[in-house]
Structure 1
């Protein structure tokens, strides 16, 4: 039999309830027996006090207890425990059987603790109920009887058995009620888990729009809330992945279509294999190659590409090297390249030098492609106690307000036709964002005072 969580909890609660009920019933029965025995022994002690008061007159200083014989004791007991008949105030003699049984259970001890009869009753403080017999305010003997360790008598036994019978029925009814309540309670408590199981099955089948109804504020409600957040996140990732695949297909289709048409034109003899047409083919292949390389870089970051963040990197040297590499290309486009470094700055951080070099190269390349000449590219590096700020801003043209939040999205272009003409893949800034996040920093896009785009990067000096 498959033990589900419902059955496990139900059986556990039922077992605990049954053990508690049986244990409580046993304690109640034991307490009842002890209480009844104490009650009976208290009654025995009260009887012994009556006997003690009547026996004191049979003691003499000269003869001691010689006058007290079992026959005399039986007479005294009959006189003490005689009961009036119904409708008659005169006492009648107690039943002889009752007096004989009572006489067998009690005895009288003298000052030397010698029993006058019933010598089989041994002296023991824990086993005897003893009441002193006083003569002229002096203890001259003891009347004693054995404590009742079991319930004697038909009446007492019947009463005890009736109580045990009632207690048994109470245990059975409480167990049954515990089972019903446990079943209802466990079913109620596990309802959110059942919903979670059904929702998980829906997610497994691809329905990412599944949401769980949340009741209460307990741990299961919190778990359901987290599941809803997970479902929403999976839905967003699914939509993003589908859009990502569609964008990649679209981006690859354009250069491939151009290559296909130009190659077919050469094959059909429409165009001759002149250098300008071969250069056009080479240019399209370069664009296609760059797009594939950028996609490869992003796939590595999505797969958890590891960066070596233990190197000591001089940001000033990196930027100056990039400026030297791009100086000629910026001059050809009549873009003035300026840079400023804070004098008090250390200019050194902990990070991955290769990744940071790619970061600045992508940003310089982006400004080179999308800044009109004559123009300006300004790079500023400042630093505080724990963070280095790098601001790269260029001149016109600028970026529309609604495009700023989307600049770091993959394959996003402000102007599709202009971007393709410049050879951009729409992945450069997305790769930069990945590198900055790997260094536990942040990158922001805003409007530049020069009329173009400003990219501000905050990098921690020491990565923990």
Structure 2
């Protein structure tokens, strides 16, 4: 039989409830029986005190207890333990038999703890009730009897069995009530888990719009909230994946279509294989190759495969090398490249030198490509507490306000037609964002005071 969580919790609660009810029933029954016995023994003690008062006058200092005879003792017991039943007419034979039994059970001891009559003395003092006999303010003997550990009379026995019968019914009703309450409570508490199971089945079937109605603030409610977040995350990933595939298809279709049309023109004789047409084909192949390389690098960065962050890298040296490599190209485009590195000594970070070189090259290439001539490109490096702050800002043109948060999205272009003409794939800044995150840093895009765009990068400094 498959034990579900509902059955496990239900059986556990029933088992615990049954143990508690049985334990309480046993404790109550034992306490009641002990209390009843103590009550009866206390009554016996009170009667023995009366017997002690009745037999005290039969003692004398000269003769001791010679004045107390068995017949006298039977008379005293008859007076003290007179318990009429029913209408008070009890048979004399039954009455005499009761008194004889009392005479055998009640033992009178002298001051030396020796029985006055030929009766057997109890060996254990813990099992007897012992009342002193006082004569002229002096203890001259004892009246003892055996303690009761069973219910003696018919009336007491009937009362005791009636209470046991009532307790049995109370146990049965409490057990039934515990079962009902346990079933209802377990069903109520596991309702969120049932909803969670149904939602998980829907999610497994591909319904990413599944959401759970969350009620309360307990652990199951928190788990349902995490499930809703997971469902929303999977939905966004599905939409991003579909958009990603659509964008890639669109990006690949453009250079392939141009290549196809130009090759067909050469095949049909519309164009002759002149150098300018071959150069055009070569440029399209280069654009396509660059796009494929960017896609490959981005896929590697997503998998976390190409970064080796174990080495200490001097960021100032890497950035200065990148700026010197772009100095000539900036002059050719009439863009002034200014660098400002005010660090007094090298500052190292734990990172991958190759990927950091690619990061700075991509950012400089992006600024060089989209800055109008004559223009200005400034690169600044400074120490900000325990972080390196790198600012790359350029002159006009800038980007719209609504485009700033989207600059690091894959295949996003502010001006698609202009980007294609300049050879951009829309993946450069996305790759830069991946590299910065891999180095536990942060990259922000804002408007520049020069009229263009400012890319600010924060990289944590190595403690060593």
Secondary structure in 1 aligned to 2:122?
Answer: coil
1:14-73, CA deviations, whole angstroms, 9 ceiling, x for partnerless residues?
Answer: 110010000000000000111011001000100100100000111122221123222221
The aligned residue for residue 411 of structure 2 is 411
Tell me by how many angstroms 1:86 deviates: 9.6
TM-score by length of 2: 0.95
1:134 aligns with 2:126: no
Unaligned runs of 5+ in 2: none
Tell me by how many angstroms 1:453 deviates: 1.2
Secondary structure in 1 aligned to 2:200?
Answer: helix
Structure 1 residues 403, 86: closer, same or farther in 2, change over 3 A?
A: closer
1:248 aligns with 2:271: no
Tell me by how many angstroms 1:154 deviates: 2.0
Tell me by how many angstroms 1:85 deviates: 9.6
Secondary structure in 2 aligned to 1:77?
Answer: helix
Q: Whole-Å Cα distance in 2 between the matches of residues 26 and 180 of structure 1?
A: 23
Equivalences for residues 10-409 of structure 1 within 5 A: 10-82=10-82, 95-117=95-117, 119-305=119-305, 307-344=307-344, 346-409=346-409
1:295-315, CA deviations, whole angstroms, 9 ceiling, x for partnerless residues?
Answer: 111111222335222322122
Tell me by how many angstroms 1:244 deviates: 0.8
How many residues are paired up?
461
Q: Whole-Å Cα distance in 2 between the matches of residues 188 and 119 of structure 1?
A: 70
1:5 aligns with 2:2: no
Structure 1 residues 306, 124: closer, same or farther in 2, change over 3 A?
A: farther
Tell me by how many angstroms 1:153 deviates: 2.2
Q: Whole-Å Cα distance in 1 between the matches of residues 287 and 358 of structure 2?
A: 18
Structure 1 residues 378, 87: closer, same or farther in 2, change over 3 A?
A: closer
Q: Whole-Å Cα distance in 2 between the matches of residues 237 and 339 of structure 1?
A: 40
Tell me by how many angstroms 1:352 deviates: 1.4
Tell me by how many angstroms 1:5 deviates: 0.4
1:127-156, CA deviations, whole angstroms, 9 ceiling, x for partnerless residues?
Answer: 110001111111111010000112222222
Q: Whole-Å Cα distance in 1 between the matches of residues 73 and 179 of structure 2?
A: 60
Tell me by how many angstroms 1:121 deviates: 3.2
1:325-370, CA deviations, whole angstroms, 9 ceiling, x for partnerless residues?
Answer: 2222222211111111114364433321111101001001111211
Structure 1 residues 213, 87: closer, same or farther in 2, change over 3 A?
A: closer
CA RMSD across the alignment: 2.0
Q: Whole-Å Cα distance in 1 between the matches of residues 232 and 343 of structure 2?
A: 49
TM-score by length of 1: 0.95
Unaligned runs of 5+ in 1: none
Secondary structure in 1 aligned to 2:126?
Answer: coil
Secondary structure in 1 aligned to 2:149?
Answer: coil
Q: Whole-Å Cα distance in 2 between the matches of residues 117 and 164 of structure 1?
A: 40
Secondary structure in 2 aligned to 1:269?
Answer: coil
Tell me by how many angstroms 1:158 deviates: 1.8
Structure 1 residues 82, 30: closer, same or farther in 2, change over 3 A?
A: closer
CA contact (8 A) 1:79 1:94 kept: no
Structure 1 residues 100, 306: closer, same or farther in 2, change over 3 A?
A: farther
Q: Whole-Å Cα distance in 2 between the matches of residues 45 and 239 of structure 1?
A: 91
Q: Whole-Å Cα distance in 2 between the matches of residues 125 and 132 of structure 1?
A: 14
1:253-305, CA deviations, whole angstroms, 9 ceiling, x for partnerless residues?
Answer: 11111111112222222222222111111111111111111111111122233
Q: Whole-Å Cα distance in 2 between the matches of residues 437 and 80 of structure 1?
A: 101
> Which piece of structure 1 moves more, 203-212 or 259-268?
259-268
1:63-89, CA deviations, whole angstroms, 9 ceiling, x for partnerless residues?
Answer: 21123222221112123334689999x
Secondary structure in 2 aligned to 1:100?
Answer: helix
